[in-house]
């Protein structure tokens, strides 16, 4: 079992470009969560998705950010027109069944986005 | 809505000393509680969790945490730390059907 795979590990974008971050959940996991980590701020919840559905996007900025988890393929976090303040580590986690906390979340190694 | 407060942002200790990382939570409903550990440039790994039952939970590497409902706390302890325990530790709370909410983290630095 390959675990949660995130790519790329490092991403550099110029201001105004688009950033696409990918997350493949563990095999058998149908719930995906995205978090953003800034120094000394911990992990901030962004969005919770199931296949083809956004369950909770209360942590997503209102503009420029979007997420999807299609029927086939990885979950994508998209940031349009990036700004320097978007520089952060973005982590994806997956779980098999949200109602069963016995499994907790399995985290990927993150994508470190740097906006120059 | 639930929230988590980790009272110490940094905890420096010497090797083989005991350590306690403090965590308090706030929630109007019953919650599950977790501690995760993050080593440099890596993702988070589950350290231990409290779901129900015994209020004292243990990890395989000597950490333990005790759920205290009256004080709404879930402090993490280890009687004797190693250099390899140096990492950032996150306390988290979860209500079924909602996402895991994390504290800001505590950096544990173990020196010889």
Nearest CA-CA distance, residue A17 and chain B, Å: 25
Looking at per-residue confidence, does B99 or A5 come out higher?
A: A5
Contacts of residue A56 in chain B, CB cutoff 8 Å?
Answer: 98-99
User: How confident is the model at residue B81, as a pLDDT?
Assistant: 97
User: How confident is the model at residue A95, as a pLDDT?
Assistant: 86
Of the partner residues A43, A48, A99, the one whose CB lies closest to the CB of residue B96: A99
State what percent of residues in chain A have pLDDT above 70: 93
Q: Does A42 touch chain B (CB under 8 A)?
A: yes
Contacts of residue A33 in chain B, CB cutoff 8 Å?
Answer: 99-100
Q: What is the pLDDT of residues B42-85, one digit of tens each?
A: 889 999 999 888 888 888 889 999 999 999 999 999 999 999 99
User: How confident is the model at residue B111, as a pLDDT?
Assistant: 96
What is the number of helices (H) and of strands (E) in chain B? 0, 12
Q: Which residues contact A69 (CB under 8 A, 6 or more apart)?
A: A32, A49, A50, A51, A52, A53, A75, A76
Contacts of residue A43 in chain B, CB cutoff 8 Å?
Answer: 44, 90, 102, 105
Q: What is the pLDDT of residues A25-78, one digit of tens each?
A: 998 888 999 999 987 788 999 999 999 999 999 999 999 999 999 999 999 999
For residue A94, the surrounding DSSP H or E stretch is strand A88-95
What whole-number distance in Å separates Cα of residue B39 and Cα of residue B21?
Answer: 16
CB contact under 8 A, A42 and B34: no
Beta strand pairing call for A42-50 and A53-56? antiparallel
User: How confident is the model at residue A101, as a pLDDT?
Assistant: 55
pLDDT at A100 over 60: no
User: How confident is the model at residue B20, as a pLDDT?
Assistant: 97
CB contact under 8 A, B51 and A110: no
User: How confident is the model at residue A103, as a pLDDT?
Assistant: 58
| Best mutation target, B1, B32, B48, B99, to test chain A (most A CBs within 10 A) | B99
pLDDT at A1 over 60: no
Q: What is the pLDDT of residues B16-52, one digit of tens each?
A: 999 999 999 998 888 899 999 999 888 899 999 998 8
User: How confident is the model at residue A105, as a pLDDT?
Assistant: 85
For residue B26, the surrounding DSSP H or E stretch is strand B23-26
């Amino acid at each position: 079992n390959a675990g949660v795979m995130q790519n790329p590990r490092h991403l550099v974008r110029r201001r105004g470009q688009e950033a696409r971050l990918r997350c493949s959940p563990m095999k058998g996991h149908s719930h995906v969560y995205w978090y953003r980590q800034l120094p000394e701020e911990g992990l901030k919840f962004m969005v919770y998705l199931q296949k083809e559905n956004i369950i909770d996007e209360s942590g997503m900025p209102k503009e420029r950010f979007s997420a999807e988890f299609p029927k086939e393929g990885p979950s994508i976090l998209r940031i349009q027109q990036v700004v320097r303040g978007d520089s952060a580590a973005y982590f994806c986690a997956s779980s098999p069944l949200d109602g069963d906390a016995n499994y907790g979340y399995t985290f990927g190694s993150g994508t470190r986005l740097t906006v120059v | 809505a639930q929230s988590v407060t980790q009272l110490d942002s940094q905890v420096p200790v010497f090797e083989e000393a005991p350590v306690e990382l403090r965590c308090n939570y706030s929630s109007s409903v019953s919650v599950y509680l977790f501690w995760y550990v993050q080593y440099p440039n890596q993702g988070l790994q589950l350290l231990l969790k409290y779901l129900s039952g015994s209020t004292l939970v243990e990890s395989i590497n000597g950490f333990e945490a005790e759920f205290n409902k009256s004080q709404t706390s879930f402090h993490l302890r280890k009687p004797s730390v190693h250099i390899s325990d140096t990492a950032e530790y996150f306390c988290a709370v979860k209500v079924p059907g909602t996402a895991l909410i994390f504290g800001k983290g505590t950096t544990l630095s173990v020196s010889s």
